[in-house]
Structure 1
Amino acid sequence: MTVIHQEHTTSRPHPLDLLERTVEENGWAFERASADELNLSVAGRWSDHHFSFTWRDDLQSLHLSSAFDMRVKGETRLVDISSLLMFINARLWIGHFDLWPEDGTIVFRHAMIFPDAHASDSQMECLLNLALEACEHYYPAFQFVLWGGKTAQEAVAAAILECQGQA
């Protein structure tokens, strides 16, 4: 008697395919630059947010980044923004803001690992919502420092002002 061993593999959807589905459901403009890259624009309260999602098969991870449409110029502004980054990043549980030294761009970044590319629609939706919420929430703080001349402490206090109760 011969026993034939058949291996059953189930094809999992690419994590960016899942993300693309979430993006389409929200009616957001996007471009699939390649099988491993998706670029997305979302209108926010303060500005349009542009997100780039990149899948790294070798790391089994999905990286997202969103650059703000503002540049840090001058030594004084650099010190002020660096201080603000410290205050904001200490409050974030997931993701972080960076300052690209080459051109002074402020960027939100986060990466998630998906072993065997096993991701779900809800994970993609959470990842996108997390990034959008962080960018929306802290965008004004960066404006307060860069254009309003506020200190990092003043900017964070103004940006994270949360209303209590109902009017």
Structure 2
Amino acid sequence: MSLLAGDAPLSNNPLDLFEELAAANDLIHDRSSDCELVVQLTGRWGDYPICAVWQAELGAMYLSCQIDSKVPAARRRAVYELLGLMNERLWLGHFDYGEEEELVMFRHTIPLRGTPGASVEQIEDLVDTALEECERLYPALQMVIWGGQSVRDALNAALMETVGEA
């Protein structure tokens, strides 16, 4: 609901810019419609499909970054706990587990109403944040799902800051 009469949906589609960035960086991407773009990123632990959706009516771009890790039913409670503890450490976005997709995802929405559109820096920051946070979570997720470690031990091991080089 708009408080100002005559507000029109934001017309500068940030997915156009995101698609240009993906092409310029030789990233695999697919633009299925004006309002949806999927870009494949490669990280240290694997490939991460990033789905960006433009909601012109809201003037907002939604982004999700999928972690390729199926969660067995017996480990879902532990994964929910892990995601909750990880979310406490995030400044932007959040992790959740989609039961329908049966996948862990990083999600974030950037509101753009009242702006001329997204900047290159905003899209880069959004993508960098999604990839960085998925890379931080991935080892803890594997330790909890397949390694049988406690949530706290897995999170502490995965988030341990190292100093220096070996």
**Where in structure 2 are the equivalents of 1:41-80 lying within 5 Å?**
41-75=40-74, 77-80=75-78
Q: Give me the identity figure in percent.
A: 38
Cα distance in structure 2, aligned partners of 1:74 and 1:126: 34
* Counterpart residue number, 1:6: none
TM superposition shift of 1:24: 2.1
Is the partner of 1:106 in helix, strand or coil?
Answer: strand
Q: Describe the superposition over 1:64-85 as per-residue Cα deviations: whole angstroms up to 9, x where unpaired.
A: 112222222224x111111101
What is the CA–CA distance in structure 2 between the aligned matches of 1:12 and 1:104, rounded to whole Å? 34
Determine which structure has more spread, i.e. the larger CA radius of gyration. 1
Output the TM-score relative to the length of structure 1. Answer: 0.86
Deviation of 1:112 after TM superposition, in Å, equals 0.4
Letter in 1 for 2:91: W
What value does the CA root-mean-square deviation take over the aligned residues? 1.8
Query: Which consecutive segments of 4 or more residues in structure 1 shift more than 3 A?
Result: none
Instruction: Name the counterpart of 1:112.
Output: 110
Shift in Å, 1:90: 0.4
Task: Measure the CA separation in 2 of the matches of 1:78 and 1:15.
Answer: 35
Structure 2 segments unaligned to the other structure (5+ residues): 1-9
Tell me the distance in 1 between the aligned counterparts of 2:12 and 2:55.
Answer: 15
How much has 1:118 moved relative to structure 2? 1.8
Cα 1:40/1:85, change in 2 over 3 Å: same
Give the aligned residue type for 1:155: A
Match of 1:5? none
Give the aligned partner of residue 93 of structure 2.
95
Equivalent residue for 1:154?
Answer: 153
8 Å contact from structure 1 (residues 71, 103) kept in 2: no
1:45-82 deviations in whole A, cap 9, x for unaligned? 1110001000001110000112222222224x111111
Unaligned runs of 5+ in 1: 1-10
TM-score (norm 2): 0.87
Task: Please state how far the C-alpha of 1:12 moved relative to its aligned partner.
Answer: 6.8
Match of 1:140 in 2: 139
